Amino acid sequence: MEFIGGKFLQVVIALAVFAAIIGLIMLLVDRAPKSAKDKITVAGFLAPAAILLLVGLVYPAAQTSFLAFTDASGKLNGVDNFVWMFTQPEALVTLRNTIIWTVLVPLLSTVFGLAYAVFIDKAKGERILKALVFMPMAISFVGAGIIWKLVYDYRGPEIEQTGVLNALRVAFGMEPKQFLLDAPENTIFLIIVMVWIQTGFAMVILSAAIKGVPAELVEASRLDGANPWQQFRNVTIPGIRGSLVVVLTTITIATLKVFDIVRTMTAGNYETSVVANEMYTQAFRAGEPGRGAALALILFLLVLPIVVYNARVLRQQKEIR
Amino acid sequence: MTVMPAPDEAANTRTAATRGGGTAAPAESSAPIMRRVKSKLTSRWATAAALVIAVVWTIPTFGLLVSSFRPAAKQVGPRSDGWWNFFGDWQFTFKNYADVTAAGGSQSANLTQYFANSLAIVIPVTVFVLVLASMAAYIFAWGKFRGREAAFIFVFALQIIPLQMTLIPLLQLFTQVLQIPPGSYTQLWIAHTIFGLPLGIFLLHNFISEIPGEVIEAAKMDGAGHTTIFWRVILPLSVPALASLAIFQFLWVWNDLLVALVFSGGTADVAPITQRLAEISGTRGARDYLNPAAAFVSIIVPLAVFFSLQRYFVRGLLAGGLKG
């Protein structure tokens, strides 16, 4: 218990120091001479965030971009790291997996999320049904990894299965399968975990969007003789286009950066590594910061166009409104 | 976003009533009835599909919950079987939970320590981000200086930078330049605060800039300075947005693994519960039966936060609270 007391004390000290810094800033702003008051206010209020962002985000990002062109000892080595990335078999597997992830996860999550949102719209117990599918959003990727390891659990064919999926396979007369070991399909089984988490996100955003589609429009198309599928395709989908883009792009970005699931379930072994995991492995485990930085840079270049596109769609929507 | 009233049912009964008035030709009146039957059918299929999805999505977590209460011999070893057998033999124990939380040697999961670490990391970070982000957001929304728009767009754009890009230099900066001792909370506090700021500023700016200008003008008339306006007017009015951001921040930091792996040093003094969980689940062995209970100890806090404050969480998501 004394340990915990020590932790508590550290937290209290940190909060006190923080309060003192903020208090000092407020005091300086308040006591500033009238002539410079506005300038000092701006500087004082912005300074902490600005310093943290410049030192902790902008500078490191620039530094990493430079590191990407150095070798393990810190000497410049041109584009060697990138050559390694695009030629070595193990690195190529990583890139291939990342592509599979970024295609499948956004697509499947959005399809499931949209279907579910439509199915439960105005249904009895909508709130509870939503919460069930939304719940994985609150669970850490590590926790999700453990949950799904149990689902995929494998035992030899001679003893009782403890994983749901293998128990089902045996019940149907099939051999139990090593879901996480057999490449290349094991990547798919990791992807399912991410889909399980992201579907709730897609569902919540799309559900709100569906409720925003004017009911008169849907009703009008119904009276025109459109069947439910046609109503959905011709009225609902165009009505939620903006939200669909946001959902797809957001999940794509989250998927590109996925790390914890791979780390906890296979640690990137058995040909399941992805860029974000390989970046960590190279930089902090294999002593190759240059390669790690190169992978991080690639990640940035992959994310960049998606974010720009996303921002443009959001702006267009704002202008329409 | 307003929730539309359910128009379907009402409209249906209305058309049925007017058509049922009598004089319409049979061909005309049968069409809407057919349609109603059809849409009832499709909605039955839709309900079934929704239930299937709900069940499939819930079973994994439910299985883990059940497993966490099953005795060791039922989970590993020759007499083990699947968690669903629990409903046949009803062997129930709290021992797994007692074991994972008990303080013991290096062999034990010792989760109480890591649980306390997670709280000790999360709480200050959430406070730091809320205060610093709202200060910056206030100035970006109501301050007067040249280049305000450009500076705000720049901060917004910082969300593009993946965490991964900052880790190596940031670690060097902390240990070599700033001499912050490794294996202390300080590195984690600062790192998480930095990563939370861009989105925090963006979210709060959206909210604070919508506060009517008259409110602020009125406060100025009464002689209030910037600090008074910020603490007495802006912050109280921003509580809904602050609540959303606080929940996000809490969940991200509690659930984070990557930042912890890089900056915590991995000891029971500092490392959060996710890191410990990844460790114990990563090593296969005779103590595997503790994994479900350990996972649940770590999941319980975010789930509680999530279920009690779901409204704010969803509101934040809809306001564009999206981070990867």
- Give the tens place of pLDDT for each residue, B105-146: 556 778 888 999 999 999 999 999 999 999 999 999 988 888
Q: b/e map of A79-112 (b: 16 or more CB within 10 Å)? A: eebbebbeeeeebebbbebbebbbebbbebbbeb
Rounded to whole angstroms, what are the CA distances from A196 to A105, A185, A193, B253, B306? 9, 17, 5, 21, 17
Chain B residue closest to A229 (CA)? B42
Rounded average pLDDT over B248-253: 89
Q: b/e string for B143-158 if b means 16 or more Cβ within 10 A?
A: beeeeeeebbeebbeb
For B256, the closest chain A residue by CA position comes to A140
Residues 139-178 of A with CB under 8 A from B: 139-143, 145-151, 159-164, 167
- Of the two residues B272 and A312, the one the predictor is more confident about is B272
**Side-chain half-sphere of B147: how many Cα atoms within 13 Å?**
4
Contacts of B254 in chain A (CB under 8 A): 140
pLDDT at A147: 92
Q: Which of B305, B270, B275, B276 is nearest to B290 (CA)?
A: B276
What pLDDT score was predicted for residue B105? 56
Question: What is the structure's pLDDT at B306?
Answer: 84
Chain CA centroid to CA B61, Å: 17
| CA B125 – CA A51 distance, rounded (Å) | 16
Are the beta carbons of B165 and A296 separated by less than 8 Å?
Answer: yes
A246, pLDDT greater than 90? no
Q: Is A64 within 8 Å of chain B by CB?
A: yes
Best of A140, A198, A280 to disrupt the B interface by mutation (most B CBs within 10 Å)?
A140
Summarize pLDDT for B195-236 with one digit per residue, the tens: 999 989 988 988 898 888 899 899 989 888 889 999 999 999
Residue B144 main-chain phi, psi, to 5 deg: -120, 110
Long-range contacts at A160-167 (CB < 8 A, ≥ 24 apart): A160/B80, A160/B81, A160/B82, A161/B82, A162/B75, A162/B80, A162/B81, A162/B82, A162/B83, A163/B82, A164/B59, A164/B60, A164/B63, A164/B82, A164/B84, A167/B82, A167/B84
In this predicted structure, the answer to whether residue A261 has a pLDDT above a threshold of 70 is: yes
Does B186 contact A257 at a Cβ distance shorter than 8 Å?
A: no
For residue A213, give the chain B residue with the closest CA. Answer: B4
- Are the Cβ atoms of B128 and A18 closer than 8 angstroms? yes
Question: In angstroms, rounded to a whole number, what is the distance separating the alpha carbons of residues A193 and A182?
Answer: 17
**Predicted confidence (pLDDT) at residue A6 exceeds the cutoff of 80:** yes
**Chain B nearest CA to A174, separation (Å):** 17
d(CA B258, nearest CA chain A) in Å? 7
Give percent of chain A with pLDDT exceeding 90: 30
Residue A215 CA neighbour count, 13 Å, CB half: 13
Higher pLDDT, A101 or B180: A101
Task: Looking at the complex, report in whole angstroms how far the Cα of residue A195 sits from the nearest Cα belonging to chain B.
Answer: 10
- What mean pLDDT comes out for the span A234-250? 87
Q: Count interface pairs A-B at CB distance under 8 A.
A: 335
Select from B243, B246, B251 the least CA-distant residue to B306.
B251
Determine contact: A66 vs chain B, CB below 8 A: no
Residues 6+ apart with CB under 8 A from B147: none
In terms of pLDDT, which residue wins out, B116 or A314?
Answer: B116
Instruction: Tell me whether A59 touches chain B (CB under 8 Å).
Output: yes
Query: For chain B, give me the number of helices (H) and strands (E)?
Result: 17, 0
Token code pair at residue A182:
């057999």
pLDDT tens by residue, B38-92: 555 567 788 888 899 999 999 999 999 999 898 887 787 777 788 888 888 878 8
Reported as a pLDDT band with limits 50, 70 and 90, residue B1 is: very low
d(CA A264, CA A111): 27
Q: What is the mean pLDDT of residues A62-79?
A: 87
Distant-in-sequence contacts of B261-267, Cβ < 8 A, 24+ apart: B261/A280, B261/A284, B262/A280, B262/A284, B262/B167, B262/B171, B262/B191, B263/B171, B263/B174, B263/B187, B263/B188, B263/B191, B264/B183, B264/B187, B264/B188, B265/B182, B265/B183, B267/B183
pLDDT of residue A159: 83
* Residue B64 and residue A146 in contact, taking contact as beta carbons nearer than 8 Å: yes
Q: What average pLDDT does the segment A260-273 reach? A: 87
By mean pLDDT, which of A118-122, A149-153, A308-312, B230-234 is the weakest?
A308-312
Of A45, A29, A18, A27, the residue nearest B133 (C-alpha):
A45
Q: What is the pLDDT of residue A222?
A: 84
CA distances from B306 to A54, A98, B103 (A): 32, 30, 28
DSSP letters along B16-38, please?
A: HHHHTTS-S-HHHHHHHHHHHHH
**Per mean pLDDT, which range of A163-172, B37-46, B116-125, B171-180 is the poorest?**
B37-46
Across B260-288, average pLDDT: 83
Burial of A3 (0-12, 13-18, 19+ CB in 10 A): middle
Distance of CA B59 to the CA centre of its chain: 20
The alpha carbon of residue A192 is apart from the nearest alpha carbon of chain B, in Å, by: 11
User: Is residue A173 scored above 60 in pLDDT?
Assistant: yes
Q: What is the mean pLDDT of residues A278-297?
A: 88
Q: Look at B1 and A212 and tell me if their CB atoms are within 8 Å.
A: yes
Closest by alpha carbon to B298, among A79, A145, A54? Answer: A145
Predicted confidence (pLDDT) at residue A256 exceeds the cutoff of 50: yes
Residue B28 pLDDT more than 80? Answer: no
Q: B3 contacts in A (CB within 8 Å)?
A: 211
The reported pLDDT for the residue numbered B103 is 73
Give φ, ψ of A70 to 5 degrees. Answer: -125, 165
Rounded distance between C-alpha atoms, residue A47 and residue A191, angstroms: 42
Q: Which residues numbered 120-159 in B keep a CB inside 8 Å of some CB on A?
A: 120, 123-124, 127-128, 131-133, 135-136, 138-139, 143-145, 155-156, 158-159
CA B226-B232-B238 angle, 5° bins: 100
Helix B239-255 / helix B310-318 crossing angle, nearest 10 deg:
100
B113 contacts chain A (CB < 8 A): yes
Judge whether A88 and A294 are in contact, CB under 8 Å. no
Q: Does A48 touch chain B (CB under 8 A)?
A: yes
Nearest to B50 among A123, A141, A149 (CB): A123
Measured between CB atoms, does B303 come within 8 Å of chain A? yes
Measured between CA atoms, the residue of chain A closest to residue B275 is A142
Q: Choose from A108, A162, A164, A295 for mutation: most chain B CBs within 10 A.
A: A162
Tell me whether residues A211 and B4 touch, CB distance under 8 A.
yes
Q: Say if residue A96's pLDDT is above 90.
A: yes
Mean pLDDT of chain B: 80
- Cβ(B276)–Cβ(B111) below 8 Å: yes
Listed by number, the residues of chain B in 67-96 with a beta carbon closer than 8 Å to a beta carbon of chain A are: 67, 75, 78, 80-84
Is the CB of A163 less than 8 angstroms away from the CB of B145?
A: no
3-state SS, A172-223, equals CCCCCCCCCCCCCCHHHHHHHHHHHHHHHHHHHHHHHHHHHCCHHHHHHHHH
Q: How far is B7 from chain A (nearest CA, A)?
A: 7
Number of other residues whose CB lies within 10 A of the CB of residue B56? 12
Q: pLDDT exceeding 90 applies to what percent of chain B?
A: 27
Which among A92-106, A282-296, B107-121 has the top mean pLDDT? A92-106
Residue B322 phi/psi, 5° resolution?
A: -125, 125
What does pTM read for this prediction? 0.84
Chain A residues inside the 8 Å CB shell of B32: none
Cα distances (angstroms) measured from residue A214 to each of A116, A119, A239, B270, B291: 20, 18, 9, 52, 48
